[in-house]
Amino acid sequence: MQDLRKQREAITHIEGNLYQNQDARIGIVVGRFNAFVVESLVDGAIDALLRHGVSGENISVIRVPGAFELPLTAQRAAESDRFDAVVALGAVIRGSTPHFDVVANSSASGLASVSMDYNIPVINGILTTDTIEQAIERSGTKAGNKGAEAAMVALEMIAVLSQLDVDYDELDAD
Ligand code: INI
C-alpha cells in the first residue's frame, strides 16, 4: 500500500519569505488622478518596502497623469531592466468617472500583459471603487492600504520567482 505520509513529505513547497529584500529593485508607477487618495497608496507602499528591508536607493517612483497611462509606463519600466518588480498605483472611482469601465479594465489588462511579456511581477495596486468613501477606506483607513498590500505582493513574488530559478536540489538542501 502506498505510504501517503511519505508521499506528502516528499512534496516540494515553494513560498516567498519577506525578509531578504535589501537588493530588491522596485519601480512604483503612479497615476496622479485622484491624488488625494493615490498619495496615501504611495506612502503605504514606500512604508511597507522600507519596513521590509528594501533600500531607499533601490526604489523609484514614476508619476504619470492617470491610471490609463500606467500600463505603458510599467512596460517601459520593465523594459529598462532596472527593476525586479513594478508596482502600479492609482485610483479609479466610478462616481466621478463616466468612462470608469474603460479606464479600470484597460489598466488592469494592460498591466497583466506587461507582466507576462516582460516576465517580472507587475502588481496591480489600482483601486477601483464605486465611491470616494470606499477609496478612502482602502487607502490607509478602515479597510487597509492597497498600496502597502501591493508592495508586499511584489516582494513575495520576487521571492517565489527567484526560487523557481534555482536548481530544485538546492531547495531540498535547505
Ligand atoms: N484616471 C484615473 O486614474 N482615475 C480616474 O478616476 C479617472 N477618471 O475619473 O477619469 C482617470 N482618468 C484619466 C485617465 O486615466 C487618463 O489620464 C486620461 O484619459 C488621458 O489618457
pLDDT tops 80 at residue 168: no
Q: Quick one: pLDDT band at residue 20, thresholds 50, 70, 90? A: confident
Pocket probe mutation, ligand 1, options 93, 103, 126, max atoms within 8 Å of Cβ? 103
Domain count, the chain: 1
pLDDT > 90: percent of the chain: 81
The top-scoring range by mean pLDDT among 34-48, 131-145, 159-173 is: 34-48
Dist. CA 23–CA 50, nearest whole Å: 12
* Cα dihedral 114, 121, 143, 47 sign: negative
The answer to whether residue 144 is domain-embedded is yes
Cβ(84)–Cβ(120) under 8 Å?
yes
Q: Is 11 inside any structural domain?
A: no
Residue 142 pLDDT level (bands cut at 50, 70, 90): confident
**Alpha-carbon dihedral 89, 95, 97, 101, rounded to 10 degrees:** 80
Helix 146-164 vs helix 35-51: angle between axes, to the nearest 10 degrees? 40
The answer, yes or no, to whether residue 131 has pLDDT greater than 90, is yes
| Nearest ligand 1 atom to alpha carbon 31 | 3
Residue 15 lies in a domain: no
Tell me whether residue 174 is in a domain.
Answer: no
Given a cut of 80, whether residue 166 has pLDDT beyond it is no
Any domain includes 5:
no
The pLDDT tens digits for 71-108 are: 999 999 999 999 999 999 999 999 867 788 999 999 99
